[in-house]
Amino acid sequence: MIVEEGKKSVKGVENVLVRELIRGIALDSMKHANMLEAMVALISGAKVFLTEKESERIGGQIKRHIELEKQAIETYSTLLEHIKDERMRLLVDYILKDERRHHELLRKIDKIIVEAETLREEDLWEMVWKYSVFHGAPGG
């Protein structure tokens, strides 16, 4: 609803600055909807483990994205030092803060979520052995 309202509110607006800022905020609302959908999946207990192959691929992509975010932070920080126009400073500062949040969130996603959601072969064998009916019994 917020996204649609944002799009409607700038329809026909020729001022690029105002139009794109409002559209950017609407995109943030779409991002929030994605995060809420992930939270619903977490709360509902729906669990589909990542395979080791998926985990390696996603983990590699996240690490690459973390590096790109780091470069963006450096670029925007340098840019901010040289900008005098307050409107431009406001926008670059907002982007810089967003990039810093992305950087930290990606690091946490990799450590807290991707690692926890991966079912490794050794984990599977440990569960099979631990819950085996014959574990510790004669013949087991």
Whether 133 is in a domain gets the answer no
Same domain? For 52 and 99 the reply is: yes
Average pLDDT over residues 125-135: 63
Whether 73 is in a domain gets the answer yes
Average pLDDT over residues 14-38: 89
Grade residue 125 by pLDDT with cuts at 50, 70 and 90: low
Whether 139 is in a domain gets the answer no
Grade residue 134 by pLDDT with cuts at 50, 70 and 90: low
Q: What is the pLDDT of residues 45-85, one digit of tens each?
A: 877 777 878 888 888 999 999 999 999 999 999 999 999 99
Whether 96 is in a domain gets the answer yes
Token pair for residue 128? 């099979």
Whether 124 is in a domain gets the answer no
Nearest-angstrom CA–CA distance, 56 and 105: 18
Predicted structure pTM score: 0.70
Average pLDDT over residues 98-108: 91
Q: Specify the higher pLDDT residue, 104 or 7.
A: 104
Average pLDDT over residues 101-122: 81
Q: How far are the Cα atoms of 17, 21, 63, 66, 135 from residue 12, in angstroms, in the given order?
A: 13, 14, 40, 37, 71
Q: State how many domains the chain has.
A: 2
Nearest-angstrom CA–CA distance, 90 and 86: 6
Domain residues for the domain of 18 are 1-46
pLDDT in the model for residue 82: 97
Q: What is the pLDDT of residues 30-56, one digit of tens each?
A: 888 898 998 898 888 877 777 878 888
Nearest-angstrom CA–CA distance, 49 and 55: 9
